[in-house]
Amino acid sequence: MSELQNNYRGVFDGRLGFGRKPALLVVDFVNAYTTPGAALYAPPVADAVKETVDVLALARAKHVQVIYTRVIYAAHGRDGGIFVQKVPILRQMVEGEPLADIVPELSPTPEDIIINKQYASAFFGTSLAATLTSMGVDTLILTGCSTSGCIRATAVDGMQYGFRVIVPRECVGDRRPEPHEANLFDINSKYGDVVTKAEVLAYLESC
């Protein structure tokens, strides 16, 4: 056991476990992160997309609700507030921009829900919490990008709204391994359970 793990042992190592009714949340898996040459391109995110394909397929086969998010701003960008001032590249995420579209490997179906958001958390300023609550969902399987941004923010809010947040580590990605691993560690310590994709698939098989 590492010094870091030993320091957290018995204090920040609890487990939530899976609940009775899940939903699969696909956060911001859009072309901007998987297109070589794009400013936001991140090969680890492209890898996470590939790992999510069979999770998505099984969720649909088990009639688990699938919900997507993507970041979309008005052409003037004012609805991005301070966020687009801090990260100006986000201003390119407007309706009609191909880089803002959900990746073709994970194309939505008519049964899915797509939520447009303007900030990191999938919950902030959106109908996500009310939608999940109305369906009786207690377990949120969280996939997408980036681990240190939208995934972490969504995990924190998901816990605060009372959902069991489950993160299959192969199905989230970031630009660099350092923030990716650091944020997975924090999510697993305080906000949800970071598990293997195999554990998620086994849970979905039982649904």
The residue range of the domain holding 93 is: 18-205
Question: Quick check: helix, strand or coil at residue 126?
Answer: coil
**What is the CATH classification number for the domain harbouring 44?**
3.40.50.850
- Evaluate whether residue 6 is within a structural domain: no
What are residue 70's DSSP bridge partners?
Answer: 116
Instruction: Write the DSSP assignment of 65-76 as a string of letters.
Output: EEEEEEE-B-TT
**Positions marked active-site:** 150
Residues 112-124: pLDDT tens digits? 999 999 999 999 9
- Evaluate whether residue 37 is within a structural domain: yes
Number of CB atoms found within 10 A of residue 100's CB = 20
Residues 6+ apart with CB under 8 A from 83: 90, 118, 119, 120
| Residue 80 near residue 73 (C-beta atoms within 8 A) | yes
- Compute the distance between CA of residue 114 and CA of residue 36 in angstroms, rounded to an integer: 25
- Per the structure, the count of domains in the chain is 1
- Evaluate whether residue 11 is within a structural domain: no
Q: What is the pTM of this model?
A: 0.94
| Residue 200 near residue 141 (C-beta atoms within 8 A) | yes
Residues 39-81: pLDDT tens digits? 999 999 999 999 999 999 999 999 999 999 999 999 999 999 9
